[in-house]
A and B are shown apart, each in its own frame.
Chain A
Amino acid sequence: MLEVKNITVAYGSDTVVKDVSFAVKPGEVIGIVGESGSGKSTVLKSILGLLDSRGKVLGGEILLNGENLLGFTSGRMRQIRGKEIAMVFQHPELSLDPVWPVGRSFYESIRVHREITKKEAAVQGRKLLEALELGEPDKILSSYPFELSGGMCQRAAIAIAMANRPGILLADEPTSALDVTVQKQVIETMMQMRKEFSASILIVSHNIGVIAKMADFVGVMRRGQMVEWGTKEEVLYSPEHDYTKALIRAVPKMGGELPAAAEEVGHG
């Protein structure tokens, strides 16, 4: 349903994404791993047309159900965002409006796409939060973002992203700002959401553990290129590319051995 074909993205004269292709099919979780500067976040931003003013997609296609998103007007893109494709960010406190209670954010994000009363929005919000098993829905809906913990904020942001039942959820490092125990809960919320709404998820993270936990298919990015792509088992448990191998060796494991530092990996 979402297909990224040979896209190349540049900021000014720096090409940050080179000829990257992959496809997201209904109900799948796609994980992209990479270190800082690998271009993984840029890929997500280009899908939603959220590149900053210096960024530009130089080539390739991004097809949503056969239509090229790159040819859409900004008005058309606004209809896509939230309705067809939603996004959650690394810092939930930045994606929720700090002066609105969560319920208001929820209402506003639905209202962009269709007529709805505040009451109906509240009912739907409660249902959604219940479906995601987020504890006391009414309390969450009436809370301001700063009254919630980071993890709860992120889970509320995920619920709001799902308000319009988009087919695809893009997640940019959704757990990186959170503690490990909270990270686990957020991952569970996302997986539950996939089960409830059979949405696809495209998640980008530097944390291989998160990707290993969530993804069906994994892409490994390095310096703007997709160096390896395949099922989770193929890529993470029998990697072929040297970079993937080195990256996986560098992940600290429980139980005593030092992570391997292949000189080949680092640009540091």
Chain B
Amino acid sequence: MAECILEVKDLTKRFRGRDKKGREDTEEQAAVDGVSFSIEKGECLGLIGESGSGKSTTAYMAAGLLKPDRGECLFHGRHMQMVFQDPMKAMNPRKKVIDSISEGLLYHRNGLSRAQIREKALEAMDMVQIDRSFAERYSRELSGGECQRATIARAILIRPELLICDEVTSALDVSVQAQIIRLLDSLKKRLRLSYLFISHDIALVSSICDRVAVMYRGKIVEIGRTKDVIADPQNEYTRCLIDSILTL
């Protein structure tokens, strides 16, 4: 077996929820309930589920943005980064694009000067194919696709080994989505990235992911090679999900 970049063991997170009438629940609900998986180096693992399945909560815990109640995440690399759903909200509206992209190197500079950081940020912009002229603009002046490219540039600036993508294309048009997916795929090869790719769109996941995990009500109900899961789903929910897909 190849080397793992991320190992997630028995991850559990409970939220004090509210029931449908808005009363505070006395019982805590498990948003994520005993989730385990691992991602190999250079692999893209898809995490599929519908709203409320706990996939984003899992992503936040894997990224270290949320403390799990139980379980652990072992990261065997130096850096991991995350790209978010709504690119407009993932950029500080009061900062220029170049400043947002530079942020990755701002806090641990490794002795780089401002000019060097700027140059690296511009190179990252080249890698995600946004024109350098956007550097001095603000995020609101960019289209959704351009903005998402900028957030990807920020994420790859410190050359992470793992990139967590949380519904990165669901706020975008299909044609823009296709561009972003192609970009992520080319970056994967170029920078030898591993991905944790969260999405509700099983067709999209099938196009980019090597393996896929299906989440339902806080649990992983099925995990396996994408081709196998799609061709021969073992779990009833997975089957239902695949049946619901509308493609051409």
Q: Identify the A interface with B (CB < 8 A).
A: 35-36, 146-147, 179-184, 187, 206-210, 212-213, 236-237, 246-262, 265-268
Contacts and interface: CB of A to CB of B under 8 A. Distances in A.
Nearest to B209: A256
Nearest to B172: A268
B246 interface: yes
Given A206-B174, A251-B174, A261-B178, A212 B248 contact: yes
Contact of B174 (A212, A250, A258): A250
B105 interface: no
B247 A253 contact: yes
A180 B185 contact: no
A266 B130 CA distance: 13
Contacts, number: 127
A150 B182 CA distance: 32
B23 to A, nearest CB: 12
Contacts of A146: 20-22
Given A180-B201, A251-B203, A259-B182, 8 more contacts: A181-B241, A183-B244, A247-B175, A253-B203, A253-B207, A258-B178, A261-B178, A268-B143
B72 to A, nearest CB: 30
A107 B247 CA distance: 38
What class of interface size applies to chain B in its complex with A?
35 or more
Given A209-B248, A253-B207, A256-B207, A180 B174 contact: no
Interface string B124-153: 000000000000000000011110000000
Contacts of B227: 255-256
B50 interface: yes
Nearest to A37: B173
Contacts of B173: 35-36, 206, 266, 268
A238 B34 CA distance: 48
Nearest to A237: B248
B181 interface: yes
B51 A179 contact: yes
A209 B247 contact: yes
B245 A179 contact: no
Contacts of B241: 180-181
B191 interface: no
Contacts of A180: 50, 200-202, 241, 244-246
A254 B206 contact: yes
A251 B244 CA distance: 16
A250 B175 contact: yes
Nearest to A175: B246
A255 B51 CA distance: 23
Contacts of A207: 246
A208 B245 CA distance: 11
Contacts of A210: 246
B20 A147 contact: yes
B207 A252 contact: yes
B206 A251 contact: no
B242 to A, nearest CB: 8
